[in-house]
Amino acid sequence: MAVAEKVPWTELALSAEECAELWGVSKDHFLQRVACRPGFPDRLTFKPATWRAGEVVEYRNTHRAGKQR
């Protein structure tokens, strides 16, 4: 079994491009409007920018525009 198969998806690093896909926006929009919001998860690395997948998905799910209250 490969190491990647043992790591939970929530611990994987997502790039800015991958995060932008989750929001359905461009990479530039994500970096300028989403990743800089207060409370957005901390980056794992700065160049290239990466974030922990589980934290990003959790943030997206709780801050999604138009969500039911």
Per-residue confidence (pLDDT) for residue 64, from 0 to 100:
77
Name the helix (H) or strand (E) containing 28: helix 27-29
What is the separation, in whole angstroms, between the first and last Cα of the chain? 42
pLDDT per residue as tens digits for the range 25-45? 999 999 999 999 999 999 999
Judge whether 3 lies within some domain.
no
Judge whether 40 lies within some domain.
yes
Name the helix (H) or strand (E) containing 56: helix 53-63
Judge whether 15 lies within some domain.
yes
Q: Are 51 and 10 in contact (CB under 8 A)?
A: no
Per-residue confidence (pLDDT) for residue 60, from 0 to 100:
94
pTM of the model as a whole: 0.81
Per-residue confidence (pLDDT) for residue 3, from 0 to 100:
63
CB atoms within 10 A of CB 66: 4
Domain of residue 19, residue span: 9-63
